[in-house]
Amino acid sequence: MDSSPALRTRWLASPWGRGAAAALAGAVPALTFPAPSWWWLAYVALVPWLLLVRSAPTFGRAALDGWLGGAGFMLAVHHWLLPNLHVFILVLALLLGALWAPWGLLVRALLGGAPRAGRCAAALVLVPSGWLMVELVRSWEYLGGPWGLLGASQWQVPAALRLASIGGVWLVSLLIVAVNTAVAELVAASAARPPAVAGLLVCALATTAVWFWAPVPRPAGTVRIAVVQPGLTGTPTQRLARSEELTRSIAGRGVRLVVWGESSLYQDPTDRPALAARLAALSRRTGTDLLVNADAPRIGGPGIYKSAELIGPDGLTGERYDKMRLVPFGEYIPLRSVLGWATKVGRAATTDRIRGSHQVVMPVASAGGLRIGPLVCFETAFPDMSRHLARDGAQVLVAQSSTSTFQGSWAPQQHASLGALRAAETWRPMVHATLTGVSAVYGPRGERIGERLGTNRSAAAVYDLPLAEGTSPYARFGDWAVHGAVGALALSGAYVGVRALSRRPARARR
């Protein structure tokens, strides 16, 4: 006699066993992101977690299953931070995982017990909407930002990128969770099969309609851009020398802009005339402007900035962008007076960086006035920043990044993949240049252009970047998918409230 079902039942009946199952189920979606990049798994990855939450004996247990699953998800998606934050990453995972507790309540309310067809149909809308609210809240930069949004796992799927051009990464997340909810209904409830099948058909038809009839960007020529990736070169002086050597190697190839990675300079050329003259001479030799990045204190300033600066043949052009959204603990410590102890248990920032005040669109003289929108590292995770640059007239999005601390982890590949989504959302090509890899370039539809420079490369790569005209629906209409999710949740809450009030007089009469 096979006793495995009985063993599973006893294991899930144990609070510790059920908690471990929830954390493991929550961690499964992390496999959809690079490096594994099992994008296809995203459409069923939430099913074990959904089934576990719906089977919770009480609403309190459902909230706990949601919390522990969220903690497992956050820990799995950010596991590469463990060498930096040590035990503090567990604290962060538990704090952020609590955002999924209300989602657990929602799943239990809609799918728990033996739900009828109406409740199952509502779940196909409300469960994805609840998930999106969690993604929205945790995307706040002070809570860690939008790293690991479920929709971002589809960065290499053309149909998903087309959806992103309509409603951003948020719309892709909604679709993925809706499919997972429908599959969970098919597995768990016989009454749910008609609405679940209908929901799957709606998702398939909507994706097909977008693929065939959604607008696409209009081609507008090309521009030749080079990315310089010096690799693990040792000291800042050695890095600068290697970057100059690689930049000189592309002279005479018709390049209109050379992009260096984040923190390519540890002195600010604004305050170092000799360094500015050295870079200007390099610009004259190659016949192109240089977009460099300084991680340095500013003379007379309040502290250290991370700044994208444009250098031309005559020196500094005056075009400068200071990074606005900083990495919590990596570039500053929130509430340092309270949480400053994090520097003693991991490699947290010993000195806080200073935030910039506004985004900038830079004209590049050597590229005929081409307008570029710079982003620095972590900022490529924020859909609103690239959308605002596109609306402000940027023709190319340029990201300068450095993930050298996380070489050998999933972080470099996952970070580079975000460029595909930002390009597809805005219809603007994206250049993702790093110090040590992965560097990559994407066209206006999110398609990859040319070779990716991996973490084992020290090289300069030249790309013929396709430009595009037009405004994507997402750039034009913004986060309408998020607003729709909020509206759906608000309407359902109002409906439940009205029903509760209408029943109260009836109970009072009895």
Res. 330: pLDDT tops 90? no
Res. 9: pLDDT tops 90? no
- DSSP H or E run through 467: strand 459-469
What residue type is 404 in one-letter code? S
Q: Is the pTM of this model over 0.75?
A: yes
What residue type is 95 in one-letter code? L
User: What does the DSSP assignment read for 336-373?
Assistant: HHHHTTHHHHS---SSPBPPPSS---EEEGGGTSEEEE
The pLDDT-based confidence of 505 (bands split at 50, 70, 90) is low
> Mean pLDDT over residues 83-87, rounded?
76
Which one has a higher pLDDT value, 171 or 235? 171
Taking a C-beta distance cutoff of 8 angstroms, is the pair 355, 323 a contact?
yes
The pLDDT-based confidence of 332 (bands split at 50, 70, 90) is confident
Range with the largest mean pLDDT of 50-59, 300-309, 339-348: 50-59
Q: Can you give the pLDDT at residue 3?
A: 44
- Please tell me the least confidently modeled range out of 49-63, 179-193, 322-336: 322-336
Res. 339: pLDDT tops 70? no
Distance CA 169, CA 380 (A): 12
**Is the four-CA dihedral 167, 168, 173, 175 of positive or negative sign?**
positive
Average pLDDT of every residue of the chain: 91
Res. 502: pLDDT tops 50? yes
CA-to-CA separations, 436 to 261, 328, 440, 480, in angstroms, rounded = 8, 22, 12, 37
User: What does the DSSP assignment read for 411-465?
Assistant: HHHHHHHHHHHHHHHHT--EEEEESSS-BEEE-TTS-B-S--B-TT--EEEEEEE
Q: Can you give the pLDDT at residue 192?
A: 77
Listed in sequence order, the residues at least 6 apart from 401 whose beta carbon sits closer than 8 Å to its beta carbon are 261, 262, 376, 377, 380, 415, 432, 433, 434, 435
Give burial (CB, 10 Å; 0-12/13-18/19+) of 506. Answer: exposed
User: What does the DSSP assignment read for 477-499?
Assistant: H-SHHHHHHHHHHHHHHHHHHHH
Res. 214: pLDDT tops 60? yes
Q: Can you give the pLDDT at residue 148?
A: 94
Are β-strands 315-322 and 304-312 bridged in parallel, bridged antiparallel, or unpaired?
A: antiparallel
Q: Can you give the pLDDT at residue 2?
A: 45
Res. 7: pLDDT tops 70? no
Which one has a higher pLDDT value, 507 or 380? 380
Helix axes 88-97, 59-77, angle to 10 degrees: 140
Taking a C-beta distance cutoff of 8 angstroms, is the pair 71, 22 a contact?
no
**pLDDT of 221-273, one tens digit each?**
999 999 999 998 888 899 999 999 999 999 999 999 999 999 999 999 999 99
> Mean pLDDT over residues 277-289, rounded?
96
- Please tell me the least confidently modeled range out of 31-35, 44-48, 347-351: 347-351
Categorise residue 307: left if φ over 0, alpha if ψ from -120 to 50, beta otherwise: beta
**pLDDT of 446-463, one tens digit each?**
999 999 999 999 999 999
**pLDDT of 472-492, one tens digit each?**
999 999 999 999 999 999 999
The pLDDT-based confidence of 344 (bands split at 50, 70, 90) is low
The pLDDT-based confidence of 63 (bands split at 50, 70, 90) is very high
Q: Can you give the pLDDT at residue 343?
A: 65
Q: Which residues pair with 289 in a beta bridge?
A: 257
Q: Can you give the pLDDT at residue 10?
A: 63
Q: Can you give the pLDDT at residue 1?
A: 39
Q: Can you give the pLDDT at residue 227?
A: 98
**pLDDT of 355-404, one tens digit each?**
999 999 999 999 999 999 999 999 999 999 999 999 999 999 999 999 88
CA-to-CA separations, 374 to 120, 307, 388, in angstroms, rounded = 45, 10, 11
Res. 185: pLDDT tops 90? yes
**pLDDT of 113-141, one tens digit each?**
888 889 999 999 999 999 999 999 999 98
Res. 501: pLDDT tops 50? yes
CA-to-CA separations, 472 to 163, 167, 217, 387, 445, in angstroms, rounded = 11, 9, 7, 9, 10
Percent of the chain with pLDDT over 90: 75
Percent of the chain with pLDDT over 70: 93
User: What does the DSSP assignment read for 39-94?
Assistant: GGGGGTTTHHHHHHHHT-SSHHHHHHHHHHHHHHHHHHHTGGGHHHHTTHHHHHHH
Range with the largest mean pLDDT of 226-240, 301-315, 349-363, 410-424: 410-424
> Mean pLDDT over residues 424-453, rounded?
96
**pLDDT of 88-120, one tens digit each?**
888 889 999 999 999 999 999 999 988 888 999
